[in-house]
């Protein structure tokens, strides 16, 4: 019997509803499955046959500690999905630069260095962005992400200064497609496309996360966008088990917003057979 760990955090120690579906599928295939809190000092990780990162949703608040845990798992020879090297790469949004260099369309981005002051109004004026989004380079679930614009950049300057005092920062133009058309999430399991979800923000917001009032619907994506989402996964450096490609449709072309390889919601409960496919991929790996 395989012993499989599903890594979570203290906020959902018994796993999310989605991951409970996955656990049930694995248990139905003669596997012993445990929900394990990633920073629990009592866990004997080396005793696992495999560890799948799931709802480790506080990793971005303690990135050094989380990455040190990844290194420990690697030293102990634990089979981790996705692998530690890929997690390190994906934990900092500089991965977007690598993908852009590989030919993936991403939003224009101003990269601001930590502890280096920048005039927000001057930056937006220079770039020609009337509305923009500011986010830390290490972030998840829109944590620390906020909207600004030319008309309020001066009053937002202290907020940027505070963020730059302890983090690298990205500034990107506001993508109107998110509010108007929604944001696509393409879910890949075991290297293969599984399903897609269209996410929409609450009225007046730009963030699509459910906990912030956003909504989701399982839909068939435009074929051309799916082809481009597959092309994004082809540029992932190294082996991977699951991926979520988040992007917007710009006239039939996919613009990548995020490539989620650490702890994305995979919307398993929104697609018949998705939990089964994920369980099969884990056992095959």
229 Cβ contact partners less than 8 Å away, ≥ 6 residues apart: 184, 186, 188, 193, 221, 245, 247, 254
The answer to whether residue 212 scores a pLDDT higher than 60 is no
DSSP labels, 160-192: HHHHHTTS-EEEEE--HHHHHT-EEEEEEETTE
Over the stretch 20-49, which tens digit does the pLDDT of each residue have? 999 999 999 999 999 999 999 999 999 999
The answer to whether residue 213 scores a pLDDT higher than 60 is no
Q: If you average pLDDT over residues 67-96, what whole number do you get? A: 97
Residue with tokens 């450096």: 237
φ, ψ dihedrals at 207, nearest 5°: -100, 135
Over the stretch 234-257, which tens digit does the pLDDT of each residue have? 999 999 999 999 999 999 999 999
The answer to whether residue 141 scores a pLDDT higher than 70 is no
Is the pLDDT higher at 211 or at 100? 100
Over the stretch 156-203, which tens digit does the pLDDT of each residue have? 999 999 999 988 999 999 999 888 888 999 999 999 999 999 998 766
- Angstrom distance (rounded) from CA 48 to CA 174: 43
Torsion of CA 194, 105, 116, 147, to 10 degrees: -70
Which residues are 248's β-sheet partners?
255
Q: What is the pLDDT of residue 91?
A: 96
Residue 258, helix vs strand vs coil? strand
Q: What pLDDT band is residue 145 in, cutting at 50, 70 and 90? A: confident
Do strands 80-81 and 50-55 pair parallel, antiparallel, or not at all (unpaired)? Answer: parallel
- Here the tokens at position 60 are 């971005």
As to burial, measured by CB atoms within 10 angstroms (0-12 exposed, 13-18 middle, 19+ buried), residue 103 is exposed
- Angstrom distance (rounded) from CA 30 to CA 155: 58
- Angstrom distance (rounded) from CA 146 to CA 171: 10
DSSP H helical segments within the chain, as ranges?
17-27, 63-75, 84-90, 95-101, 120-127, 153-164, 176-180, 223-233, 274-284
Q: What Rg, from alpha-carbon coordinates, does the chain have? A: 19
- Here the tokens at position 134 are 């500011």
CB of 275 closer than 8 Å to CB of 267: no
Domains and CATH numbers, the chain: 2-90 (3.40.50.20), 95-105+177-261 (3.30.470.20), 110-174 (3.30.1490.20)
- Angstrom distance (rounded) from CA 257 to CA 194: 19
Apex 145 CA angle, 143 and 151, nearest 5:
160
- Angstrom distance (rounded) from CA 104 to CA 98: 9
């Amino acid at each position: 019997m395989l012993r499989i760990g599903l890594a979570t955090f203290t906020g959902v120690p018994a796993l999310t509803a989605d991951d409970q579906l996955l656990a049930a599928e694995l248990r139905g295939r003669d596997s012993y499955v445990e929900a394990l809190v990633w920073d629990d000092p009592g866990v004997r990780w080396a005793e696992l046959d495999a560890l799948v990162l799931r709802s480790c949703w506080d990793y971005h608040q303690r990135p050094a500690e989380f990455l040190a845990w990844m290194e420990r798992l690697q030293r102990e020879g634990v089979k981790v999905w996705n692998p530690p090297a890929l997690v390190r790469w994906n934990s900092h949004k500089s991965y977007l630069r690598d993908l852009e260099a590989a030919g993936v369309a991403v939003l224009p981005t101003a990269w601001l260095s930590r502890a280096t002051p920048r005039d927000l109004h001057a930056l937006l004026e220079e770039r020609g962005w009337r509305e923009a989004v500011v986010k830390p380079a290490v972030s998840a679930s829109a944590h620390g992400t906020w909207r600004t614009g030319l008309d309020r950049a001066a009053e937002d300057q202290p907020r940027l200064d505070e963020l730059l005092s302890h983090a690298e920062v990205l500034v990107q133009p506001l993508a109107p497609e998110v509010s108007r058309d929604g944001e696509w999430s393409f879910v890949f399991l075991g290297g293969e496309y599984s399903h897609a979800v269209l996410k929409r923000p609450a009225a007046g917001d730009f963030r699509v996360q459910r906990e912030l009032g956003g909504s989701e619907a399982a839909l068939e994506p435009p074929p051309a966008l799916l082809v481009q989402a597959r092309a994004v996964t082809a540029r992932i450096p190294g082996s991977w088990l699951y991926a979520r490609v988040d992007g917007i449709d710009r006239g039939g072309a996919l613009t990548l917003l995020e490539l989620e390889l650490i702890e994305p919601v995979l919307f398993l409960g929104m697609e018949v057979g998705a939990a089964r496919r994920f369980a099969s991929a884990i056992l095959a790996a």
